[in-house]
Each structure stands twice: as C-alpha cells, then as structure tokens.
Chains A and B, each alone.
Chain A
Amino acid sequence: MSFFELDGLTKRFGGLVAVDALSMSVDRGEIVGLIGPNGSGKSTVFNCTMGRYTVSDGSIHFDGREITDAKTHEVVEHGLARVSQESNPIDAMSVGANIKLFTLPNSVTSLRGGASEKEIFRYAARLDLENKLHEQPDELPHADVRRLEVAKALATEPELLLLDEPFAGMNQQEIDGLVEKFEELRDEGVTMIVVDHNMGGLMRLVDRVVVIHNGTKIAAGDPEEIAENEQVRRAYLGSSEAM
C-alpha cells in the first residue's frame, strides 16, 4: 500500500457529486500536483482528507492507517497537515504565538509544553519569518501571511503536507521564493500534494500530476505529458481558464 491512498473517494452534497470515486496514491517523498479547473473538487478532496467533511463513500489511507472517518486533530496527530486556501491566523496572537499554538500537545494537563522560543524561531526561519515573530498577523503583507500558514503547518512536524493554492495572490518573485522553500522541504523528506487551478507555477515543482474535472480523474502523468494532454486542454478550455 502507498504512503497516501484515496480509494474510490466520493463526496456528495445532497444531489451534487463533488468528488466521484476518485482513486489516487502518493509515495513517500513525492510532490504530486492535483489540478483541475475551479469547482472540480480539489479542495473537497483535502477537506475530506482532513476530516472536515464526512466522506460519503470510499476510503482514505495514510501511512498504513485508515483515516477516512478520523477527526481533524487525529489526522494532524497522524502526521498530516494542510495549508488552507484561506489564511486563518489568530489576529489576537503574535506571529510567534500563532506558530507555538501548532506545537502544543493535545493534552488538558500539559500546562507548559510546546515548542521553546528557540524552536519557534527555527520554524519561523524556515519561511524567513524569524524577524516578524512579535508582529501581529494583521500587520503582515499578504505573502508573509501565506508563509505563516506554511510555517504553522510545518510546526506540527508533518510527514505529508497538503498545500491548497499556496501561491494564490502572490507575485512571480514571491512564487519563486516559495517554490524554493518547498523544494528544500522535499529534500528534508516531506511528501506534498499541491492543489492549484493554475498549472504554471506548479509544473516545475511537481513530480507527477493528477487532473480532476467535475470530481473525476481525467488524466495522470508527468508534467510534460499532462501539458500535452488533449482532454486536459478541453477541460480547461471548457471552463475558459488559461493553463
């Protein structure tokens, strides 16, 4: 069994089938792109994985465990973390405290656990935020808020990182910087699934691409193959989005 595996994953909202019997697998150390036009079901796949949505059918396995019906905090404890499309830092807490929150033990009797200031500095430094630990999230520029989201996810020491549109709202220079960070993470052994509707920024980062359209897998392969794939082009043209 692969490191991460979706088997016939289905999510229905009433009559709407958002994800339709999707199967895919990811091996340890890979970076896999999950792409598709807006509304194709990419974020729903992540929401099902993270226990935010209940799964209608099929199963999700991670690192030899079934996590189909696990709660969010259990999924995170098993070593999965997600960077959401929407940034949601806690504005009442400093950048450093936001990172620290993600290192706290899930125990009501652990009063003084969590990362030390040195460790928090290190987590922040991975995303070049070490000089902003005492700032409030709402004072940060957009790209730093996005970086904070990644730093928080990394502070849970994940083995598999789900990145949901990590480059949204960034300029080319910021995208390049973040891609470099992800490449460093890959070298450290973190497996990643990256969702994006825009294939541009993704193609040089990922080893493999899975394309979904209307909740169904329509293509899979290496980035070059996918760029040439006629069905993928049609899916994107149909939704009038550029690749």
Chain B
Amino acid sequence: MSSDTQTGGPLESVADGYNDRFGHLFGELNGPQFALLIGSLAVLLVAPVWTSLLGVGGLLRTLALASIWAILAMAWDIQSGYTGYISFGHAVLSGGAAYTTAMLVAHVNPDLPFLVTAPISVLAALVIGLVIAVPSLRLRGPYFSLVTFVAGLIFYQLTYAFSGYTGGELGQRVGRIEFELAGAQVTTFDPVTRYYVMLVPMLVIAVALLYVARSNVGMILIAIRENEEAVAAAGIDTTKFKIWSFVLSSIPMGVGGVLLAHFYGTVNPLNFLLVDRSIEIIAMAVVGGMSSILGPIGGAFLVIVLREEVLGVFGVTGRWVALWTVVLLVLVFARDGLFRKLWHVLGDWGRIDGGDDE
C-alpha cells in the first residue's frame, strides 16, 4: 500500500523494508517517521558516549529518570488514553510497587535480592490495579476519575498513618540495584550502568505496548473510548477489556515504580504518592499526544529534560510554575500533543499517513 505513493530514495526503501516485515504489527511508517524513530533510538542508545564527549555527563541522570517516567506515561496511556477512562491516581500503582520493595527490604530481609523484590513489587502493582479497576470501571465519566483520585489520596495518607512501617515523610531506604547477569555484576552505583538499567526496560515496554496498541486489543480499547455501546453490540465484553487495560497498565506501572525506587534510593510519599505525581504522568502523556504510546515517551523526555535541565533558571519552585505553564499552553494550543503534531507533519512530508490510530 505504501510503496506506490512513495517518492523513493534510500530512506524510503529502508522504511519500506520495515513496513513489509513489521508494518502490520506496529503500524506503517514513511521515511521521515522511520528516520525520527531510528534517530531517537540511536541517540538514546549511545547517550553515555555523546554526553561525556560534550561534557554534559549529568544529563545521563536526567535521561535515566526520563526513561522511567516514559514507562509510567506509556502505562497510563494504554489504560486512560486508549479507553477514555481517565485515571487521576495512577501514581498509586507505581507507588504501591515502590512501597512493596521498601517494605520487603525494611521489614522482611534487607538482603533480599533485587530479582526477588522486583517481581513481587510488580505483582503488588497488578493487585492494586485490579482492586481499583474491578469495582470502579462500572462508573462512567467523572465518577471513575474521582474514584482513582480518591484512591490516590488514601494511599498517600496511609504512608503517614503507618509511619512506623513506612518511615512517614522521610520514607524508607531501598538502596541501589545489584544483580548478576550472565556472570557479570550489574549495579546502578555506576551512572552508565544505571542509565541502561532504566533505558532497556523502557524500550522493551514500548515495543510490547505498541504491539498491543496496534492489535485488535488496541482497536477495541479505542472503540470503547469512542462508543462503548457500539462495542457491546459487536459482541465484545467491554468490562473484560477495560479490566484488561488495567492489567496492561499496572504491570509497566509496577516496573516503573520499582526502577524509580532504586533510582532515588529512598521511597517517600512526596516522590511517589503525592497527587502531583499522578498529574505529571498525565501531563507527559498529553503533552506528547495521548493514545499513541510513542507520544507519551516523547512527552516524558521533554517534560523531564525541561524540569531538570532547562527550567532550573526559574529557581527551585519557580521551575514547577514554569513547567505547569508549559503544560497548560500545550493543553490550550496543541490539545492533540506535540509529538502527534510532529508525527503528522512528517507523515504529510512523505505523503503517506503513519502508524497513528486516528
């Protein structure tokens, strides 16, 4: 379908090679879109090289942090962005996983290996996700959103109510990640290793979620957002699919929560459960372009880089004011998201429509 509308050139033939092999799985791309994806991927994969060459080694920390938030933003997107059941409390899932790790390390055994605490913590996020999803997905519109919002408030207060266990406002130390991979010791004390430990899960989750989003399941979730009754009339159990979207979301939320816990080294309510964290996840997805998976990745990198590297000129609290102002401007003037806009520009450039959902 794409080849006869192409203008030709080496970029197009590489993109066509991709389209033939993977286009039906992840959506078709044209040359410029393909170049953007491969270029971004290359920039991320060799970031330790160019950051050290340019003398901006500190940027690696920011990119590692952005990778984690990209996981959270994508995970929010596959549930809220796709089904239209907007969750205002997603930080509960990542926070739940982070606190599970913290409680295991603090109260069970401080020597529990990462490869034990991480899966248990992700499982905890899944359980929390289902506990929220099953009763609340029957509700429509603002009521569903309110339930998720209130769930976030409850979790936040619980960390103070049980401060004997959670360490209250100060939180609980969890330390860095250390595990053995193929005989080699992997530890996030080393900034380069830490970067890859955050980046690789992000890329794996991106591929997995894109695969699901471009499948029947993604199509049904979008259709639920547009017209739930029509989906039921198609013989599809919308409740089952809405719960499934929470499963698809909770697992990467758990992964992101665990990574964030070890990134900071401490799990506290401020960094994990404050309602601002849930809204930041939404902001990243919306700034990038919700219900596209790729958009939220771009949104997360943009927001984190702005916050950590650029807006610091406004001062410690001033940068937050500046950041939320940027988010507000995007909401008002580019409601569909900056990266969706860019994607369409590239799409028009190559004169075929890309792998977008809409």
- Residue of A with least CB distance to B232: A72
Main SS of chain B's interface residues?
helix
Report the separation of the CA atoms of residues A153 and B235 in the bound assembly, to the nearest whole angstrom: 10
Q: What is the minimal beta-carbon distance from B163 to any residue of chain A, in angstroms? A: 40
Question: Is A104 in contact with B230, judged by CB distance below 8 angstroms?
Answer: no
Most chain-A Cβ atoms within 10 A of its Cβ — which of B222, B230, B233, B235? B235
- Residue of A with least CB distance to B240: A108
Answer yes or no: B49 CB below 8 A from chain A CBs.
no
Report the separation of the CA atoms of residues A182 and B110 in the bound assembly, to the nearest whole angstrom: 72
The number of chain A residues with a CB under 8 A from chain B is 32
Chain A residues contacting B229 (CB-CB under 8 Å) are: 52, 72, 88
Answer yes or no: A76 CB below 8 A from chain B CBs.
yes
Chain B residues contacting A90 (CB-CB under 8 Å) are: 223, 226-227, 230
- Residue of B with least CB distance to A82: B233
Question: Is A76 in contact with B226, judged by CB distance below 8 angstroms?
Answer: no
Question: Is B223 in contact with A102, judged by CB distance below 8 angstroms?
Answer: no
> Which one, B211, B216, B233, B357, contacts A110 given CB within 8 A?
B216
Answer yes or no: B358 CB below 8 A from chain A CBs.
yes
Chain A residues contacting B241 (CB-CB under 8 Å) are: 108
Chain B residues contacting A97 (CB-CB under 8 Å) are: 219
Q: Considering the complex, which residues of chain B in the window 210-249 have a beta carbon less than 8 Å from any beta carbon of chain A? A: 211-212, 215-217, 219-220, 222-223, 226-227, 229-238, 240-241, 244
Answer yes or no: A122 CB below 8 A from chain B CBs.
no
Question: Is A73 in contact with B232, judged by CB distance below 8 angstroms?
Answer: yes
Given A73-B235, A92-B222: A105 in contact with B216 (beta carbons within 8 A): yes
CB < 8 Å A-B pair total: 80
Answer yes or no: A93 CB below 8 A from chain B CBs.
yes
Chain A residues contacting B220 (CB-CB under 8 Å) are: 101, 104
- Residue of A with least CB distance to B211: A111
Most chain-A Cβ atoms within 10 A of its Cβ — which of B226, B232, B233? B233
Q: Considering the complex, which residues of chain A in the window 69-109 have a beta carbon less than 8 Å from any beta carbon of chain B? A: 71-73, 76-77, 81-82, 84, 88-93, 97, 100-102, 104-106, 108
Report the separation of the CA atoms of residues A152 and B232 in the bound assembly, to the nearest whole angstrom: 12
Given A92-B358, A111-B217, A113-B216: A102 in contact with B226 (beta carbons within 8 A): no
Answer yes or no: A50 CB below 8 A from chain B CBs.
yes
Q: What is the minimal beta-carbon distance from A200 to any residue of chain B, in angstroms? A: 28
Q: What is the minimal beta-carbon distance from B271 to any residue of chain A, in angstroms? A: 33
Chain B residues contacting A92 (CB-CB under 8 Å) are: 222, 226, 357-358
Answer yes or no: A49 CB below 8 A from chain B CBs.
no
Answer yes or no: A112 CB below 8 A from chain B CBs.
yes
Chain B residues contacting A93 (CB-CB under 8 Å) are: 219, 222-223, 226
> Which one, A76, A84, A111, A113, contacts B234 given CB within 8 A?
A76
Answer yes or no: A114 CB below 8 A from chain B CBs.
yes
Chain A residues contacting B238 (CB-CB under 8 Å) are: 73
> Which one, A71, A88, A108, A111, contacts B227 given CB within 8 A?
A88
Chain A residues contacting B226 (CB-CB under 8 Å) are: 90-93
1/0 contact string of B171-214 vs chain A (CB within 8 Å): 00000000000000000000000000000000000000001100
Chain A residues contacting B236 (CB-CB under 8 Å) are: 73, 101, 104, 106
Chain B residues contacting A84 (CB-CB under 8 Å) are: 233
Question: Is B223 in contact with A101, judged by CB distance below 8 angstroms?
Answer: yes
Question: Is A101 in contact with B234, judged by CB distance below 8 angstroms?
Answer: yes
Question: Is A72 in contact with B219, judged by CB distance below 8 angstroms?
Answer: no
Report the separation of the CA atoms of residues A110 and B216 in the bound assembly, to the nearest whole angstrom: 7
Answer yes or no: A191 CB below 8 A from chain B CBs.
no
Most chain-A Cβ atoms within 10 A of its Cβ — which of B216, B231, B240? B216
Given A90-B226, A93-B223: A108 in contact with B234 (beta carbons within 8 A): no
Given A106-B235, A106-B236, A106-B237: A89 in contact with B230 (beta carbons within 8 A): yes
Given A101-B220, A104-B220, A113-B216: A77 in contact with B235 (beta carbons within 8 A): yes
- Residue of B with least CB distance to A83: B233
1/0 contact string of A122-159 vs chain B (CB within 8 Å): 00000000000000000000000000000011001000
Chain B residues contacting A114 (CB-CB under 8 Å) are: 216
Q: What is the minimal beta-carbon distance from A50 to any residue of chain B, in angstroms? A: 7
> Which one, A50, A100, A104, A111, contacts B212 given CB within 8 A?
A111
Q: What is the minimal beta-carbon distance from B251 to any residue of chain A, in angstroms? A: 14
Chain B residues contacting A71 (CB-CB under 8 Å) are: 232, 237
Q: What is the minimal beta-carbon distance from A206 to any residue of chain B, in angstroms? A: 23
Chain B residues contacting A72 (CB-CB under 8 Å) are: 229, 232-233
Question: Is A108 in contact with B244, judged by CB distance below 8 angstroms?
Answer: yes
Binding site for A on B (CB under 8 A): 211-212, 215-217, 219-220, 222-223, 226-227, 229-238, 240-241, 244, 357-358
6 pairs across A/B with beta carbons < 8 Å?
Answer: A52-B229, A73-B236, A77-B235, A89-B230, A90-B227, A91-B226
